[in-house]
């Protein structure tokens, strides 16, 4: 089922890109970015790059929209984890707490706390384990939001700028090829 949902979302993203100049487009990509924290199938980086390449003058708006959406989605995930605990997460993602990413994030989180959440938010790494671990330790959601917003803002401002000014450098970003393929972007 998640494969068909993923395919539908990718189709929606590709078809909506023709409307990147519309007023409703930034809230749409913010919503998709928020949704990514719940379903893990939205290519946020690819959406931002494609949008900024289509309408270079709006790269800041696109970057901030995706940052806000990602932050809101992370806070929602954090709230749900605080409300329902780890068993709830494991119902959706069985074995998540046994993955190498989980163990690595847990070790770093135990050692460095919210700095790990910031570093993950600013990087191409999947931020879900960091959000879940921070939420399981009952990190205040306002602190979590501030840390994630700060990290994501740095990441997405850099990516938006590069996409609108020098897209050829994006090929060097780890994990970008798949994200760009998902949204139909080819960079020479």
Q: Worst-scoring range by mean pLDDT, 10-14, 30-34, 93-97?
A: 10-14
Model confidence at 183, pLDDT cuts 50, 70, 90, reads low
Q: What residues does each domain of the chain span?
A: 2-182
What is the per-residue pLDDT for 100?
86
**Predicted pLDDT at 18:** 77
pLDDT value of position 104? 84
- Minimum mean pLDDT range among 75-79, 94-98, 139-143, 167-171: 167-171
pLDDT above 50 (res 1) = no
pLDDT above 50 for 65? yes
Average pLDDT value for the chain: 85
Write out pLDDT tens, residues 117-172: 999 999 988 888 889 989 998 999 999 999 999 999 999 999 999 988 887 777 66
Structure tokens at 48: 């931002």
The rounded distance, in Å, linking the Cα atoms of 188 and 186 is 7
**The predicted structure's pLDDT at residue 115:** 93
Token pair, residue 110, equals: 């135990």
In order, the DSSP letters of the chain are -HHHHHHHHHHHHHHHGGGTTSTTHHHHHHHHHHHHHHHS---HHHHHHHHHHHSGGGHHHHHHHHHHHHHHHHHHHHHHHHHH-HHHHHHHSTTGGGSHHHHHHHHHHHHHTHHHHHHHHTSSS--HHHHHHHHHTT--HHHHHHHHHHHHHHHHHHHHHHHHH-GGGGGGSTTHHHHHHHTT----
């Amino acid at each position: 089922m998640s494969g068909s949902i993923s395919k539908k979302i990718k189709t929606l993203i590709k078809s909506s890109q023709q409307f990147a100049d519309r007023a409703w487009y930034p809230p749409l990509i913010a919503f998709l970015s928020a949704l990514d924290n719940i379903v893990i199938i939205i290519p946020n980086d690819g959406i931002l790059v494609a949008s900024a390449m289509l309408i270079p003058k709006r790269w800041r708006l696109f970057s901030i929209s995706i940052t806000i959406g990602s932050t809101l989605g992370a806070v929602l995930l954090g709230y749900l984890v605080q409300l329902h605990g780890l068993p709830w997460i494991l119902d959706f993602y069985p074995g998540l707490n046994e993955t190498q990413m989980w163990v690595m994030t847990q070790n770093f989180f135990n050692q460095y706390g919210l700095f790990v959440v910031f570093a993950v938010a600013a990087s191409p790494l999947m931020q879900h384990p960091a959000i879940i671990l921070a939420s399981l330790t009952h990190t205040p959601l306002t602190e979590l939001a501030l840390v994630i917003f700060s990290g994501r803002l740095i990441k997405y401002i850099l990516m938006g700028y590069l996409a609108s000014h020098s897209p050829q450098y994006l090929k060097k970003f780890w994990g970008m090829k798949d994200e760009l393929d998902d949204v139909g972007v080819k960079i020479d």
